[in-house]
C-alpha cells in the first residue's frame, strides 16, 4: 500500500509547485488579466450643496375671502301682469338685449294702433294748415294749435311704446342665467324675482388685510386662491381695488381681487383661501436647511477653494422673508455661490469637503445621491 501511494503524492507536489510559480509570475509582471486597482476615494467630508439664486420674490399675506360674480343682477319686472311667453331655459347663455320673457300687452298694443291712426290724421291736418297759412287763408295761431295737437299724439305714442317695452323683459348684458322662478300664466308684480343673470367670466374676491400692510398694497399685485372643493388647484389673479377706509374695530382694510374664470368652475359664495404677494422684488434665496442659527445670528457654510482644494467656509448672513423651504438672504452671500445643505452636522469652518451633488431644487435626497453615479 505504501509503494502504491508514492506516485500520487509526487504528482500533487508537482502540481502545487507549478501553481505557486505561475501565481508568483503574475504578481511580478502584473499579469495580463490582473484586476484594476480601485480608485482612491475622494478625500474630504462628503456634502451636497445648493446654488445661491437670484429670483423673483415677494412677501406673502394670507387671508380668507368670499367669491362673487363679476356682475350679477336679479331680473325683475317694473309693471304687473300675467306672463304670456318665456324664452329662456335654466343656465342658458344669453346675449345683451335678448328677450327673456313677455307680459300681457294686448291692451297697450291696441292703444298704440289707435294712437298711430290719430297721428296720421293730425299729420295730414297740420300739413293742410301749413298750405293755408302760406296762402294767408289761415291764421298763424291756428297753425300752431294744430302743430301742438300733432306733438301731443307723438308724445302719447312714445308713452304707449314705453309701456309695451316694460312688458318685454330683456337681458341687460351677455352671460349666464340662473334658475327660472316663474311659469307661463303666472302673475308677476314689480320686484318679483324672475331669474338671475351672472357674469362668471371673472370672479371677484373681497378679503381683509391688516392695516400695517397698507403702504405695500396696491392694484396689480399678484394673488393666488384655493378652494377646498377643488383640492390643490390654484386660481391666479390680481388686486383690482384697495378700500378707502380702515375698520376701526379690526384695523383691517378691505381688498378686492379679480380672478379669471374662463371655464366657469368658480361660483359665487365660495370660501377662498387667499395669498397676496406684496413688495415684489429680485432677491437672493437659499434653501432653509442651509441655515445654522446660533442664538440670534445666522450662518451658512459656503463651498470655496483653498490651495486648490474644496473647503467649507463659514459665513454670517442676514435674512429677510421666508417662504416654505426657502429664505431670503439680504447680506453675506452673492449670487452663484454654493452653500452646504447636507452634511452640516459634521462640517467645520475650513474643513476640506467633497461635493457629491448639487441640489437645484425639487429633487429628493435619493435623486441627488444618484448624481454621483451618473
* pLDDT score of 365: 65
- Residue 340 in grid coordinates: 452646504
Domain covering 46-57+283-362, topology: 2.40.420
Q: What is the pLDDT of residues 213-234, one digit of tens each?
A: 999 999 999 999 999 999 999 9
Average pLDDT over residues 142-147: 88
CA-to-CA dists, residue 259 to 222, 235, 273, angstroms: 10, 7, 13
DSSP string, 25-92: HHHHH--TTPPPPPPPPPPSEEEEEEE-EEEEEEEEEEEEEEEEEEEEEEEE-SS-EEEEEE---TT-
**Mean pLDDT for all residues in the chain:** 86
pLDDT higher than 70, residue 18:
no
* pLDDT score of 363: 65
Q: Which helix (H) or strand (E) holds 160?
A: helix 140-166
pLDDT higher than 50, residue 168:
yes
Band (pLDDT 50/70/90 cuts) for residue 5 is very low
- d(C-alpha 315, C-alpha 302), whole Å: 7
pLDDT higher than 50, residue 31:
no
Comparing C-alpha atoms, which of 229, 210, 227, 221 is closest to residue 258? 221
Look at 174 and 235; give whichever has higher pLDDT.
235
C-alpha triplet 168, 170, 172: angle, nearest 5°: 145
pLDDT higher than 50, residue 22:
no
* pLDDT score of 371: 62
Which sequence spans correspond to the domains of the chain? 46-57+283-362, 105-166
pLDDT higher than 80, residue 34:
no
pLDDT higher than 60, residue 21:
no
For the entire predicted model, the pTM comes to 0.66
Q: What is the pLDDT of residues 277-292, one digit of tens each?
A: 999 999 999 999 999 9
Q: How many residues appear in the chain?
A: 374
* pLDDT score of 359: 84
Amino acid at each position: 500500500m505504501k509503494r502504491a501511494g508514492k506516485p500520487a503524492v509526487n504528482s500533487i507536489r508537482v502540481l502545487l509547485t507549478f501553481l505557486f510559480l505561475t501565481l508568483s509570475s503574475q504578481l511580478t509582471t502584473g499579469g495580463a488579466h490582473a484586476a484594476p486597482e480601485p480608485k482612491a476615494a475622494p478625500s474630504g467630508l462628503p456634502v451636497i450643496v445648493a446654488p445661491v439664486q437670484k429670483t423673483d420674490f415677494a412677501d406673502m399675506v394670507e387671508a380668507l375671502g368670499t367669491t362673487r360674480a363679476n356682475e350679477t343682477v336679479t331680473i325683475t319686472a317694473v309693471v304687473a301682469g300675467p306672463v304670456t311667453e318665456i324664452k329662456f331655459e335654466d343656465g342658458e347663455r344669453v346675449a345683451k338685449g335678448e328677450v327673456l320673457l313677455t307680459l300681457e300687452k294686448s291692451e297697450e298694443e291696441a292703444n298704440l294702433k289707435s294712437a298711430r291712426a290719430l297721428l296720421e290724421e293730425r299729420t295730414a291736418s297740420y300739413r293742410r294748415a301749413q298750405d293755408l297759412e302760406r296762402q294767408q287763408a289761415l291764421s298763424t295761431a291756428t297753425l300752431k294749435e294744430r302743430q301742438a295737437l300733432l306733438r301731443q299724439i307723438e308724445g302719447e305714442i312714445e308713452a304707449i311704446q314705453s309701456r309695451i317695452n316694460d312688458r318685454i323683459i330683456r337681458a341687460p348684458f351677455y352671460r349666464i342665467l340662473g334658475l327660472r322662478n316663474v311659469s307661463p300664466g303666472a302673475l308677476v308684480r314689480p320686484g318679483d324675482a324672475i331669474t338671475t343673470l351672472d357674469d362668471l367670466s371673472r370672479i371677484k374676491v373681497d378679503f381683509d388685510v391688516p392695516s400695517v400692510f397698507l403702504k405695500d398694497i396696491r392694484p396689480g399685485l399678484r394673488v393666488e386662491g384655493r378652494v377646498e372643493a377643488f383640492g390643490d388647484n390654484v386660481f391666479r389673479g390680481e388686486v383690482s381695488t384697495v378700500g378707502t377706509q380702515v375698520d376701526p374695530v379690526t384695523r383691517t382694510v378691505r381688498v378686492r381681487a379679480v380672478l379669471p374664470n374662463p371655464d366657469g368652475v368658480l361660483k359665487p359664495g365660495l370660501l377662498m383661501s387667499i395669498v397676496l404677494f406684496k413688495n415684489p422684488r429680485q432677491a437672493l434665496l437659499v434653501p432653509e436647511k442651509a441655515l445654522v442659527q446660533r442664538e440670534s445670528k445666522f450662518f451658512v457654510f459656503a463651498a470655496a477653494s483653498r490651495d486648490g482644494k474644496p473647503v467649507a467656509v463659514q459665513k454670517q448672513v442676514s435674512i429677510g422673508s421666508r417662504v416654505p423651504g426657502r429664505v431670503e438672504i439680504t447680506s453675506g452671500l452673492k449670487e452663484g455661490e454654493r452653500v452646504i445643505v447636507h452634511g452640516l452636522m459634521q462640517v467645520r469652518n475650513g474643513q476640506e469637503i467633497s461635493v457629491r451633488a448639487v441640489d437645484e431644487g425639487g429633487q429628493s435626497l435619493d435623486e441627488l445621491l444618484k448624481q454621483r453615479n451618473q
